Amino acid sequence: MPLPLAGGPEFDRIRAIVDALGPRASALGSDVALVPIGGDRLAFSTDVSVEGVHFRRDWLSFEEIGWRSTASALSDLAAAAAECVGVLVALTANRREPEETFVSVMRGVDAAVESVGGLVLGGDLSRGEAMSLAVTVVGRSAPGISRRGARAGDGLWVTGALGGARAALAAWNAGRAPDAAARERFARPVPRLPAGRWLADHGATAMMDLSDGLGADAGHLAAASGLALRIELAQLPLHDSARAEAALSGQRPALFAAWGGEDYELLAAMPAEFAGTSELSLTRIGSFTEGTDVTFTLDGRPVTPGGYDHFA
């Protein structure tokens, strides 16, 4: 069975690996592996953050580097409606890096995992050229929700507001300091574990976290359930900084937010009759239907995924 992933070079590599390893590696290509152990269903995921690729030390403090790397891995537990048991961290850094760097990164790791009630279970330090953190998260997942399972007619919902992390990146890339709210969204994303459990408790049929941006991730969610998705971007909950940053570059804010990554909000399929809640920041942005494509509209007119939109 082909892996239910959308296109892209990373996914081609994952497909090649899964083809080579066969069913023994069936957990690859999922955000989390779910393993029944002694009455529990454990959730595992690993995520690597590399300096110069995922973070830069002139943008973030070492504590923030630790927090952000850990939060992005914990976000996979949120999408599995799991609670956090703990994390393990393999930290690689240049041998000339002072001891305080290691301590600060690990303080950030610990703060992120403490925020969701887990422990630092283990670690390894190594020297290497660039700094990198490989964070493995361990969770306990009762309902066993995954990316698959959405049904035609289900609504597509998203937590929080989108585009804040992209706003920070856009400012840094333009040589400006991002505003405080955008910077916070990039530096200290909040892993949505309570929201993940709430959604699962209230009937979610499929769930994933937004790491590559709605424009890319919606395709994975639709493919995993073998369905089409219609998304109306005028409904998108926008982070204030995304509005401001989009305006600066003459882009439409909804497109700026939809094609920005690293928001670490949750995308969930909910039954058609689900009407929202006051307990959680949740917005309905589309519907699952029979078919295979993801269609984005803005005010009812089709828009094409990818890249920037330069008309004002």
Give the residues lining the site for a copy of itself (CB under 8 A).
10, 12-14, 16-17, 20-21, 24-25, 27-28, 30, 32-33, 35, 37-40, 42, 44-50, 52-54, 85-86, 88-92, 99, 102-103, 106-107, 110, 114, 119-130, 132, 134, 136, 138, 140
Alpha helices in the chain (DSSP H): 9-21, 62-79, 99-115, 164-173, 180-187, 193-201, 214-225, 240-248, 253-258
As measured in angstroms, the least distance from the Cβ of 87 to a copy of itself is: 9
Q: Considering beta carbons, is residue 100 or 273 the nearer one to a copy of itself?
A: 100
Q: Could you tell me the CA-to-CA distances from 275 to 198, 238, 283 in Å, in that order?
A: 14, 20, 10
Do β-strands 83-93 and 132-140 pair in parallel, antiparallel, or remain unpaired?
antiparallel
The token pair at 56 is 């830069």
Which three-class secondary structure state does DSSP give residue 259? coil
As measured in angstroms, the least distance from the Cβ of 139 to a copy of itself is: 10
Q: Considering beta carbons, is residue 91 or 238 the nearer one to a copy of itself?
A: 91
Q: Considering beta carbons, is residue 122 or 271 the nearer one to a copy of itself?
A: 122
Using alpha carbons, select from 148, 308, 302 the residue that is nearest to residue 230: 302
Measured between its terminal Cα atoms, the distance across the chain in Å is 44
Q: Considering beta carbons, is residue 140 or 243 the nearer one to a copy of itself?
A: 140
As measured in angstroms, the least distance from the Cβ of 83 to a copy of itself is: 11
As measured in angstroms, the least distance from the Cβ of 92 to a copy of itself is: 6
Q: Considering beta carbons, is residue 24 or 310 the nearer one to a copy of itself?
A: 24
Sign of torsion over alpha carbons 154, 159, 162, 168: negative
Q: Considering beta carbons, is residue 128 or 271 the nearer one to a copy of itself?
A: 128
**Rounded distance, CA 115 to CA 112, Å?**
5
